[in-house]
Structure 1
Amino acid sequence: MTKKRVNVVTMGCSKNLVDSEVLLNQLEKGKFEVMHDSNDLDFDAVFVNTCGFIHDAKQESVDMILDYVEAKKRGDIQKLYVMGCLSERYQKDLETEIPEVDRYFGKFDLKAMVDELKVTYQPEYIYERKITTPSHFAYLKISEGCNRSCSFCAIPQMTGRHKSKSIDNLVKEARYLAKRGVREILLIAQDLSYYGIDIYGKNRLAELINQISEVEGIEWIRLHYLYPTKFPYEILPVMRENPKVCKYLDMPLQHIANPVLKNMLRHVTREETENLIKRIKEEVPGVILRTTMLVGFPGETEADFEELKTFIQETKFEKLGVFPYSNEEGTYAAKKFEDNLPEELKQARADEIMELQQQVSAELNQQKVGKTFKVILDRKEGDFFIGRTEFDSPEVDGEVFITSEKALEKGQFVQVKITGAEDYDLFGIEEV
């Protein structure tokens, strides 16, 4: 008997990817043939896992749904389902506007999705996933939701309040991943800084990191998405002293001008932010910071923007991304402030920030030439083996292009001497 085939298409962030992997595992245990982000046709069912973050991401999700509506009309797929953040937030609207979808599910409807395909939901395997990343690294989502109240952000409307997973379950999941060849774990959440407070009464992120570091096979642990307000300082000694914890910290700051921070409801000032950055760098020598900025927020003046530019030039973040403001319905900012800056100006400011960051990144990369770094290998392309240092996260940061006389393997760690640098990427040779 031929197995039924299911394709899960993931839009948006790594947190969505983890949700897709859990669904794929449940369906595979239910004897389905499962695929992820496949371009093949002839599926019995397709799930589109949507993103509802900002306007562009929402539009991409809608376009993907419409593409599969056409595939269903042609008979290439039998059933079309929509899940994830966009569906959680706009389910009734989507049901009206795109009725060709067989069923819409919210973000936390795993059991209902499995039941829909007549598969027995197996909660005892909830910590298991079908890994869709290269097998040597995987994301570990340590919580759902967010208790912060940033005025521009609609994510809490979709994910609800912060809900931590237990340390025991997360360590169990880390062991499962390690047994399948994962050597690098990326801790993700909407807000790592809040971990444990809801279930333990205090922050226990440092303890979680230490326990995961004891899992055999895990060599790197990377931290994504900490919040500058009420920062968990107890993780800094762990980063400094535990060799498995990458000296890499992803902390979106959004802005630096106090008037903008106040209207964003970030509950932090420029002075507090600068003191935090100083303390992090003092307590963890060699740490690199990744951050994200948001430009074009309602009322952002030219002076505010110039202040942000100067701050970026002076602070020299090793990694930095930027978003132009998106006016999201239902948020405090959308209700309180007029979206008074032209889209062209928002984009121009974003482009200007990235031009500055390109110069900063090129300068910092040149300083690495002649130095040797531990690198994890991701793949081979042409004559190069391509990998990352502990200061580079997959998908979002630069890479190292390596030449070696030996045959190297994906997931292997090697020592690489840097011989050249571009704005974001490095070149090197394996040290024997």
Structure 2
Amino acid sequence: MKKVNIISLGCSKNLVDTELLMKQLEKVGYSVEVDVENSKAKIVVINTCGFIGDAKEESVNTILEQVELKKEGKVDKIFVMGCLSQRYEPELQKEIPEVDAYFGKFDWKGILAELGKEYDEKLRNERHLTTPPHYAYLKISEGCNRKCSYCAIPIMTGEYKSRPFEEIVDEAERLAKQGVKELLVLAQDITYYGIDKYGKNRLAELVERIADIKGIKWIKLHYAYPAGFPMELLPVMRECENVCKYLDIALQHCSDHMLKQMRRGVTKQQTIDLINKIREEVPGIALRTTLMVGHPGETEEDYRELIDFVETMKFERLGVFPYSHEDDTYCDKNYKDDVAEEIKNKRAEELMERQLEVAAALNQSWIGKKLTVLIDRTEGEFFVGRTQYDSPEVDQEVFVTTDRPLQVGEFYEVEITSAEPFELYGVI
């Protein structure tokens, strides 16, 4: 069979798109692999990311690397798809003409047609999972209707489009039958789910329905938006045992000045009230958030307010990234990128240093306690897994020692014996 190597860049939503394409290619007779270094495949598909400057640079560099392999005769065909291609196709065609064809973010039909094959509509929602068999991502929508000043994602993915309710449930049931135990529910904004299609928010109903599926042990939710947060979700998170006490909610900033500049639609007090309400309604919940530093107009006072916010709110999980000035966004049209790169990077580094102190204290509090851990892999002498408070790739792991073999994809009770700021150690 002909072999295709798909290089999947960017977020987990992109990975789902890669998995959908894999299924279609396999149906028409191709052998498909993902992210294989020194691959023997003569056809390469690069699923690009175009979210921020660093991601765009990585995508372009990956394309150029494959072009060099093509010049050396190691690759016959290069196809580029995804967010970067969706947004910059004319520029890419001009700058890197060695690529055989560029496609939009969701143009699987175009890729298959380029190979002389047809897209199979019956397999529209079927995927070849690239994750370990015990967990899978479940995308519930495409696009975004928010108007955040800095974000180019709506330009690339279009307006919010909820997937049909029953279609999502059917996919979740199919994944459970395949042996998936953990579903990582995600969208650019899960908290808008259903409004466009059904005229009302149906996220809580959807999560509760998925929680009823036999075999699904853990459900984690990514990525929530603070404005218009559906409060009816909180009782579901509290009462359904297999809905993890975990929520990824991107806050971006806390000062009223910056929230207005960013067009986030909330105030600092509303943000604090929401966090307190979530923690009150779902005791023991771990909140993951992302914060941005260096947005146009961010003053030293705004930044100090953000540091105080992090130290006060004590988020269980936190990521920080410097502002990236993106073409055609509200920022690009209305603001000057007026915070120096050096200052952006310094602020991001300092904020993560403060979070390190918060994380270290939180992890120390787990020592001597027992946690349920899902084992993902082995590494040297350790079995490595995650708690219900951690998602793959982005959160911390638990390194487990035992005198008996453990099974990857199974749950175990682990007593925590020691802790680092971003990892735990324990024994069965």
Q: Retained in 2: the 8 A contact 1:152–1:328?
A: yes
Q: Answer yes or no: is the 8 Å Cα contact 2:5–2:39 preserved in 1.
A: no
Are 2:223 and 1:225 aligned?
yes
TM-fit CA distance, 1:118? 2.2
SS at match of 2:260: helix
Aligned to 2:412: 414
- Which whole-Å deviations, capped at 9, do the CAs of 1:176-212 have from their partners, x for residues lacking one? 2122221100011000000011111101011111111
Separation in 1 of the partners of 2:173 and 2:29?
Answer: 24
- In structure 2, the residue matched to 1:332 is 330
User: Whole-Å Cα distance in 2 between the matches of residues 373 and 143 of structure 1?
Assistant: 32
**2:122 paired with 1:124:** yes
In the aligned structure 2, how far is the partner of 1:341 from the partner of 1:81?
A: 37
Query: Which letter does structure 2 place at the counterpart of 1:283?
Result: E
Deviation by residue 1:317-340 (Cα, 9 ceiling, x = unmatched)? 000001101111100011111111
2:28 is matched with 30
Quote the residue 2:397 is aligned against: 399
Per-residue deviation at 1:113? 1.3
**What residue in structure 2 maps to residue 426 of structure 1?**
424
The CA deviation string for residues 368-398 of structure 1, in whole angstroms up to 9 with x for no partner, is 1111111100011111111000001110111
Instruction: Give the deviation of 1:101 after TM superposition.
Output: 0.3
Q: Is the Cα–Cα contact under 8 Å of residues 5 and 43 in structure 2 kept in the other structure?
A: yes
Structure 1 runs, 4 residues or longer, greater than 4 Å off: none
CA–CA separation in structure 2 for the residues paired with 1:27 and 1:198: 32
Residue 120 of structure 1 and its aligned partner are, at CA, apart by 2.5
Number of aligned residue pairs: give it. 428
Q: 5 Å matches for 1:90-109?
A: 90-109=88-107
Q: Is the CA contact (8 Å cut-off) linking 1:372 and 1:417 kept in structure 2?
A: yes
Please identify, of 108-117 and 349-358, the stretch whose mean Cα deviation from structure 2 is larger.
108-117
Q: 1:270-419 residue pairs with structure 2 within 5 A?
A: 270-419=268-417
What's the offset of the Cα at 1:226? 0.3
Q: Tell me the distance in 2 between the aligned counterparts of 1:71 and 1:212.
A: 45
Contact 1:128 1:176 in 2 (8 A): no
CA distance in 2, matches of 1:155, 1:271: 27
User: What is aligned with 2:236?
Assistant: 238
Distance of 1:303 and 1:381 partners within structure 2: 44
SS at structure 2 position matched to 1:225 = strand
SS of residue paired to 2:76: strand
Deviation at 1:77, TM superposition (A): 1.1
Counterpart amino acid of residue 306 in structure 1:
R
Distance 1:172 1:44 in 2: 35
Matched, 1:214 2:216: no
The C-alpha deviation readout for 1:3-48, integer Å capped at 9, x for no partner, is: 0000110110000000000000110111101100011333231100
Shift of 1:114: 1.7
Whole-angstrom CA distance in 2 between matches of 1:241 and 1:169: 25
* Residue number in structure 1 paired with 2:61: 63
Paired residue type of 2:407: E
Q: Distance in 2 between matches of 1:379 and 1:150?
A: 38
Native 8 Å contact 1:23 1:114 kept in 2: no
3-state SS of the aligned residue for 2:427? Answer: strand
Q: What's the secondary structure of 2:131's corresponding residue?
A: coil
1:85 aligns with 2:83: yes
- Pairwise CA RMSD of aligned residues? 0.8
* SS in structure 2 of the partner of residue 43 of structure 1: coil
Task: Give the unaligned 5+ runs of structure 2.
Answer: none
The Cα offsets for residues 196-252 of structure 1, whole Å up to 9 and x where unpaired, read as 111111010111111111222111000011000000111100000000100001001
Does the CA-based 8 Å contact 2:169-2:209 persist in structure 1?
yes
Q: Distance in 2 between matches of 1:8 and 1:14?
A: 15
Partner of 1:77, secondary structure, is: coil
Q: Which runs of 5+ in 1 are unaligned?
A: none
Provide the rounded CA distance (Å) in 1 between the counterparts of 2:121 and 2:207. 25
* 2: CA distance, partners of 1:341 / 1:40: 41
1:67-216 → structure 2 map (5 Å cutoff): 67-216=65-214
| More displaced stretch, 183-192 vs 118-127 | 118-127
How far apart in 2 are the matches of 1:140 and 1:154? Answer: 23
